[in-house]
Chains A and B, each alone.
Chain A
Amino acid sequence: MFDPSIAQANSSLFTFTFSIRSSPHSLPDSAQTLLLLMSIFEYNGSAVVAMVGKNCFAIASDRRLGVQLQTIATDFQKIFQIHDRLFLGLSGLGTDMQTLYQRLVFRHKLYQLREERDMKPETFASIVSAILYEKRFGPYFCQPVIAGLGDDDKPFICTMDSIGAKELAKDFVVAGTSSESLYGACEAMFKPNMEPEELFETVSQALLASVDRDCLAGWGGHVYVVKSSKEVTMLGENWGMKEKLGRTIVAE
């Protein structure tokens, strides 16, 4: 997908830089930190995946928040609930994740007040896409993953790039720094029409296997599986690096 932050001007410039300074501006002692030129999308590190099952969907993310190579938090929330049947997972820069979530929740609340109902996932995806495209030339450095249940309990998943190009998929969508590993793992493990329990296992294993090969994402995962009956939402949390799955079932 198009990544505007790394778009390079098409120049055939070969530059050799040589600098003569008569009074070198010395770095202060505090600048002992390692300066790494990473892409802005890899600054915090993230992995988000959503998968479709039989009248249910699962959305999962890792839990790490880092500043380049240092881990700051191991319980950072990347998946947000918009309403009972709609979840939004965000990958990319942490601050943009949170700002975007706040803006979208605001829009959804206004929608609820005006229309007196919840937003459909397709509509929500369009809103997210529009909000991202508003900032076409100064984008939010985020890749959202939207997962929800439509009117007839049909699961809906989609992802988009940082400027709002939607990608609707029928099986699974991935985003984040581990996206390549996630593609491989999900492609190999996905089966159509999985029941919620099996879907939970599949998504967890795919996520854990993929983030284990990525140093910027990991430290466990949050997995949400939403069934069509709307009565039970399964919330699973994988703690630490050992693959113990502690599951709590929350009834709504």
Chain B
Amino acid sequence: MAERRSIWMGCRDGRRCMILGFNCVVEAHFVSMDLVLSLSIFWLFLMTMSVRYVPSDITIEVSGASFALHKVMTAYENLGASSIKKWIAVFRVSRCIILLRLSAATVSPRRKIWVVFSSYQRSTYDLDRRNDRRIQTKSCLSMTGGIAMTKQQATWSPYDFNGGTCVAIAGADYCVIAADTRMSTGYSILTRDYSKICKLAEKSVLASSGFQADVRALQKQLAAKHLIYQHQHNKQMSCPGMAQLLSNTLYYKRFFPYYAFNVLGGLDSDGKGCVFTYDAVGSYERVGYSSQGSGAKLIMPFLDNQLKSPSPLLLPAKDAVTPLSEIEAIDLVKTAFASATERDIYTGDKLEILILNKEGIRQEYMELRKD
């Protein structure tokens, strides 16, 4: 690899000018209050260079909005061996960089341009450069991305992560759905008392973690669709039906998803417990138990160990519904959450448990650690 030498231009910290030699890579860094000033310095610098030291490879890193980059790219010309043409190309590129600054809506006071140009021939075999055993190369010019902003850039994301964990367990004639009640953002807690569980139908309950605004919007969508269904069919939607509806609703927004990790629990038409687990875009599966959210990775192995009675390798496939009693399942959920709270910062405060059985729906609460 050729040695790298750095030239700092227009830098308030200091200047170092190195003598260019053949077979070296030079990086010119511009850290300047004014882009135009720095470019003019760059120009003077280039002009003073002897023709002998014409670089064969120039890389200019330009970052920023793609429209600006497009301008840079249109100035690029495929270069031949002629050095004059190379300088022309560099000139054109620099002119575009100036235009970048003028056309940019917001001008950041400090910008850095990295101009890297090397004058050693790039070869497929990096043999001894002194001997002329270089394999014939073509001069290649690559342009890579942007202007490094040293100030903070405004990057806005439509999503946020509010944390939380949800668990559901299906039994022979019951279903337990649980979620913690902490809502956080970053390292802060927004509230200790936010319910992530929503009753969609008489026998379907949805628990979701992720981005609660999207979760709320999703719940509203499903409630609206369920209401229409009730008007049209004069009955409540069954749990497997709601599961399919949820999957379709999520996939409808495949290219701008709901940032919601869902677990749907309920009783199917035979009265048996069912749990459906989803990813963010609607892929779902009926399972005997599931967990989603920030504490899912901590809870899932424990549930596997306690509840995975049939091995998936056995044929015929056995029902994954657990033989545990309702009380035991609730205890299991409480233990799982207590453990997850210890190790996951987004889980805690209070645990809300909903139990569905043939009598109806009942709610239980349990205090969790508040730290």
Binding site for B on A (CB under 8 A): 11-23, 25, 180-185, 187-189, 205-206, 208-210, 212-213
Q: Does B82 contact A (CB under 8 A)?
A: no
Tell whether, in the assembled complex, residue B138 and residue A20 are in contact, meaning their CB atoms are under 8 Å apart: no
Decide: A14 near B298, CB < 8 A? Known: A20-B140, A22-B140, A187-B342: no
**Chain B residues in 8 Å Cβ range of A16:** 63, 66, 69, 144-146
| A104-B45 Cα distance, complex, nearest whole Å | 56
Closest residue on chain A to residue B153 by CB atoms = A12
**Chain A residues in 8 Å Cβ range of B299:** 184
**A/B interface sample: 9 pairs, CB < 8 A:** A12-B150, A12-B151, A16-B63, A16-B69, A20-B76, A20-B140, A20-B141, A187-B298, A187-B343
Q: Does B295 contact A (CB under 8 A)?
A: yes
Closest residue on chain A to residue B140 by CB atoms = A21
Tell whether, in the assembled complex, residue A14 and residue B64 are in contact, meaning their CB atoms are under 8 Å apart: yes
Decide: A210 near B301, CB < 8 A? Known: A22-B140, A187-B343, A188-B335: yes
| A81-B145 Cα distance, complex, nearest whole Å | 52
**Chain B residues in 8 Å Cβ range of A205:** 305
Can you list, as one digit per residue, whether each of B162-188 has a CB less than 8 Å from chain A (1) or not (0)? 000000000000000000000000000
Shortest 6 CB-CB distances between A and B: which pairs? Answer: A184-B298, A15-B145, A209-B305, A187-B339, A188-B339, A16-B145
Tell whether, in the assembled complex, residue A184 and residue B145 are in contact, meaning their CB atoms are under 8 Å apart: no
Closest residue on chain B to residue A18 by CB atoms = B143
| A17-B139 Cα distance, complex, nearest whole Å | 18
Tell whether, in the assembled complex, residue B145 and residue A185 are in contact, meaning their CB atoms are under 8 Å apart: no
Closest residue on chain A to residue B72 by CB atoms = A18
Tell whether, in the assembled complex, residue B302 and residue A13 are in contact, meaning their CB atoms are under 8 Å apart: no
B136 to chain A, nearest CB (A): 9
Tell whether, in the assembled complex, residue A213 and residue B304 are in contact, meaning their CB atoms are under 8 Å apart: yes
User: Which residue of A13, A20, A21, A210 contacts B148 across the interface (Cβ within 8 Å)?
Assistant: A13
User: Which residue of A21, A180, A209 contacts B297 across the interface (Cβ within 8 Å)?
Assistant: A180
Closest residue on chain A to residue B59 by CB atoms = A19
